[in-house]
A = this chain, B = another copy of it.
Amino acid sequence: MNRYSFGVDLGGTAIKIGLFTDEGQCVIKSQIPTRKDNDGMFILDDISEYIEEVIRNNNLNKSDIDGIGIGVPGPVLNESVVLNCINIGWGTFDVAKALSERCGILVKAGNDANVAALGELWYRQSSNYKNAVIITLGTGVGGGIILNGKILEGSNGAAGEIGHLPLVYDETEKCNCGNTGCLEQIASATGLVRLAKKRLAEKKIYTSLEKYDKLTAKDIFDEAKNGDELAVTVVDESLDYLAKAMASIAAIVNPQVFVIGGGMSNAGEFLIDIVKEHYKKYAFGPAKDTKILLAGLGEDAGMYGAAKLVL
């Protein structure tokens, strides 16, 4: 008899839901819109209805399902209580209990970045990494820390918030979090574009970056790959901070591996090579050889990791 679990990745605009076998194969995958009206009060009903539908349409029984894992965009404690999900309107409540009461199935919850980290490791299960740090370079910089195969939540659910390492001492603008000089102000896709625009304003050399009306992180990486001097400098400066952050993380939790994902990681091995070069300079002796890999699951990592939560 096959065993299944559902993985739910609750995002600000869409909810991704997958049905997984206990061996990590995704057999059904879909997404529904996130209804944010009325402080997100319909979200759990929508998820519950969709799950009931999948169970019915596939002639499954609830007893075939080990559980539902859900990744939410906010801090989570004890795999159940979400503390605040500002961008979907949720306050503090036991999301695992609330969804479980609707479906009659066991539910476990996790922070979306942490859950994505778990997904990446599950996907690499053959490699047997038990201690890993997953870094997501997107609009912000997210992180998930896995120790002994389990997500590190931290005492307020704020572990792995590596986007907010205070590393950029000469930063003058405020981060979304209210502090000044956070890693994500320079090493996220948004931060990279901001840095490029700053350097463009100061520039004294010709750069192909000038031709873009709406400059993106992808444009900057593409031009850096083409050898554009300013683009190379900007990528280097941004990833140098990321490498400093990784060296700090290594001196604190000493993982076996770093896995880098998120939209910016589409720059591929080009990005990884630059990060490795800078990381070697800063890492403490025993951590200099820590592996640095590109994420493999892309946008689906959260859904995979959520399913893994209940296995």
Contacts of A157 in B (CB 8 A): 254, 286
Contact for A281 among B143, B179, B285, CB less than 8 A: B179
The verdict on A251 contacting chain B, using a C-beta distance below 8 Å, is: yes
Q: C-beta contact mask, A246-281 vs B, less than 8 Å → 1, else 0?
A: 011111111110000000000000000000000001
Q: Which residues of B contact A42 (CB under 8 A)?
A: none
**Interface check A47, CB cutoff 8 A:** no
What 0/1 readout, one digit per residue, does chain A (226-262) give for beta carbons within 8 Å of chain B?
0000000000000000001101111111111000000
Residue in chain B with minimal CB distance to A153: B254
User: Do A166 and B282 touch across chains, with their CB atoms under 8 A apart?
Assistant: yes
Copies in the complex: 2
Which DSSP category, helix, strand, loop or mixed, fits chain A's interface?
loop
Q: Report yes or no: B161 in contact with A254, Cβ–Cβ below 8 A.
A: yes
A177 an interface residue at 8 Å Cβ cutoff?
yes
Complex CA gap A290/B256 in Å reads: 28
Q: How far, in whole Å, are A282 and B182 apart by their CA atoms in the complex?
A: 9
**Which residues of B are found within 8 Å of A143, using beta-carbon distances?**
252
Residue A154, interface by CB 8 Å: yes
A287 on interface, CB distance cutoff 8 Å? yes
Q: Are A165 and B251 in contact (CB under 8 A)?
A: yes
The answer to whether A251 and B161 touch across the interface, beta carbons within 8 angstroms, is yes
* With A75-B286, A179-B282: A255-B169 Cβ-Cβ less than 8 Å: no
Most chain B CB neighbours (cut-off 10 Å) among A143, A153, A181, A287 = A287
Whether B247 and A249, one on each chain, are in contact in the complex, defined by CB atoms closer than 8 angstroms, is: no
Could you say which residues of chain B place their CB within 8 Å of the CB of A281? 179
- Residue of A155, A179, A247, A249 contacting most chain B CB atoms (<10 Å): A155
User: How distant is A131 from chain B, measured CB to nearest CB, in Å?
Assistant: 5
The answer on a CB contact under 8 Å between A166 and B244 is yes
Judge if A297 is at the interface, Cβ distance under 8 Å. no
How far, in whole Å, are A169 and B256 apart by their CA atoms in the complex?
Answer: 26
Closest to A129 in B: B155
A selection of 24 A-B contacts at a CB cut-off of 8 Å is A145-B252, A154-B255, A155-B255, A157-B254, A158-B254, A158-B285, A158-B286, A158-B287, A160-B252, A161-B254, A161-B286, A161-B287, A162-B252, A164-B284, A165-B247, A165-B251, A166-B244, A169-B169, A177-B284, A177-B285, A179-B282, A182-B284, A248-B252, A252-B253
9 more contacts with CB within 8 A, not counting A75-B286, A177-B284, are A154-B253, A156-B286, A158-B250, A158-B254, A159-B253, A161-B252, A161-B254, A177-B285, A248-B252
